[in-house]
Structure 1
Amino acid sequence: MGSTNMSYLNPKTVTLIGIPGMEHVQFWIGFPFLGVCLVALLGNSFLLTIIMIEPRLHQPMYIFLAVLAVTDLGLCVAIAPKMLAIFWFGSCSMAFDACLTQLFFIHALQGVESGILLAMAFDRYVAICDPLRHMSILTPLFLVRMVLMVAVRASVLVGVLPILLKRLQLFQSAVIAHSYCEHMAVVKLAAEDVHVNKSYGLFVAFAILGLDMIFVFISYILILRAVFLLPQKRARLKALNTCTSHIVIFLEFYILAFFSFFSHRFGQVPPYAHILLSTIYLLVPPALNPIVYGVKTKEICRRVARMCVLKQEAGE
C-alpha cells in the first residue's frame, strides 16, 4: 500500500494485532475462546435441530428462538476463524475490503439479534396480555414479515457504515488494535475528518439497540402490570416463568453491549480490557442462549430427555 509522510493512501490491506498489550499470552487466550465458540456452535445447532423436528415447538416464541440461534451461529463464524488465526498462527494481515465485509456482518448480526429479542418480548406481551388473540396476531405470515423487517433494518442501517469508511482515502495507520474489524476501531485509523462516521455510528447504535431496549422495557412494564392483576399467585408465577429465559438473555445482551459501546467512545478503559470485553460480549451470549433456553424450557428438556432415552435403549 502506498504511504506518504507515514500516512496510508487507500490501503489495500490492514493488520489486526489481536489484543494490544497481551500479545505474549494471546496463544493461550485463544483456547477458552475456542471452547466458548464450540459450545455456541454445538448448542445452537442442537437447538435448531430440536425446534425443527419437534412439532410442539413450531410456535412463535421458538421460531424467534431458531432465528436467534442462526444469528448466533453467524456471529461465531464471522469472528472466530480470523481471531483464532491471529492468536495461534500470527495471521494478522487482512484485505481492507474483507475487513469492511467482516465489520458489516458483525454489526448487522448484532442488529438482528437485538431486533429478535424485541420480537420475543412482543410475543410474551401478546401471550400474557392478550392470550386469546395470540395465535391470530402472530400468524406465520406475520412472523415472516417481522423477521424480514428486523433483517432489512439491520442490513440497511449497518450497510452505510462500510460505505462511509470506503469513502475515506487517507489513513494515519493500517494497524487495527483489535482482534476483529469493529467500526470505531477502523474509524480511529483515519487521518481525515470522521465526524460523519462517528455521528452515524452513534445514530445506528441508538436506532437499533437503544430503541429496541426502550420498547422491550415498555413491553415488560405492561407484562408485569397484567401479571400482578391476575387473581391467583400460581397463575402469576406461571406467567412470569414463561418470561425468565428471555429476561436473562435480554439483560446479558444489553448490559454487555452498552458497557462495551460506551467504554470504547467515552471511557478510560485500557485497550486490552475493552477488546476482551467486546469479544466476550459477542461470543459468550451465543454460547449461553441455548443453555438458558434448554434449561428453562420444558418442551426442549423433554425432547432432550427423550433423545437420551432412545439413544440409551439403542445402545442396550
Structure 2
Amino acid sequence: MQLFLIHLGGSFQSSILLLMAVDRLVAICWPLPTYAIIFIVIFHSHTGEARQKAIHTCGTHLVVITVGYLCVVCAFVGYRVSNIAPDIRILLTISYLIIPCAFNPVIYGIRTKEIKVHLMMIAAHGGSGHVPLH
C-alpha cells in the first residue's frame, strides 16, 4: 500500500509538470495573437523590466522541470548500471521522490519578493534570527 501511494504521488507530480510543460509549449510555439503582441512589445521595450519579468516567469518553471527530470533520469540510470550498489540505487530513488518536492517551495519562495527581502535581512543580520519586522 505504501509503495502504491508513493508511486501514485509521483505520477501526480509528473503529470502536473507535464501539463505545465505542454502549456509553455503551446504558449511559446503556437501563441495566440494576444501572446504574440505581448512578446513583441516585451522584446521591443526600452526598459529591461518587462523582459526580466517574462524571463523570470519562464525561468522559474524551467528550473523546476529541470530539477524534477534530472532526479528521474539519475534514478533510472542508477537501475540500468549494474555496478552501482543497492543502497545507492535506493538513495537515488528516494531523491527522485523527495528533492523535487522540497525544491519547488525553495524556487518559488525565493522568487517571491517578500520572502527574498526577509531572507536578505536575515543574511544581513548574520543569521541570528533576530530580524526586526515592520
Please, what TM-score do these two structures have when normalized by structure 2?
0.64
Aligned: 1:113 with 2:13 = yes
CA distance in 2, matches of 1:131, 1:279: 44
Aligned length: 112
Shift of the alpha carbon at 1:282?
1.3
Contact 1:260 1:277 in 2 (8 A): yes
Shift of the alpha carbon at 1:254?
0.6
Contact 1:117 1:246 in 2 (8 A): no
Q: What residue identity is the alignment partner of 1:267?
A: V
Please give the residue correspondences for 1:205-216 in structure 2 after superposition, counting only pairs within 5 Å. Answer: none
What residue in structure 1 maps to residue 43 of structure 2?
230
What residue in structure 1 maps to residue 88 of structure 2?
273
What residue in structure 2 maps to residue 295 of structure 1?
110
- TM-aligned CA distance change 1:281 to 1:131, over 3 Å: farther
Q: Find the structure with the greater CA-based Rg.
A: 1
Q: What residue identity is the alignment partner of 2:81?
A: G
RMSD over equivalenced CA pairs, Å: 3.3
SS in 1 for 2:81: coil
Q: What residue identity is the alignment partner of 1:130?
A: L
CA distance in 1, matches of 2:58, 2:112: 10
**Which of 47, 54, 57 is matched with 1:242 structurally?**
57
Structure having the larger proportion of residues in helix = 2
What residue in structure 1 maps to residue 32 of structure 2?
130
What residue in structure 1 maps to residue 122 of structure 2?
none
Please give the residue correspondences for 1:190-209 in structure 2 after superposition, counting only pairs within 5 Å. Answer: none
Q: What residue identity is the alignment partner of 1:117?
A: L
Contact 1:256 1:281 in 2 (8 A): yes
What residue in structure 2 maps to residue 286 of structure 1?
101
* Residues 262-282 of structure 1: CA deviation (Å, up to 9, x unaligned): 321x21211111111211221
Unmatched 5+ stretches in structure 2: 120-131
* Residues 153-175 of structure 1: CA deviation (Å, up to 9, x unaligned): xxxxxxxxxxxxxxxxxxxxxxx
CA distance in 2, matches of 1:291, 1:281: 16
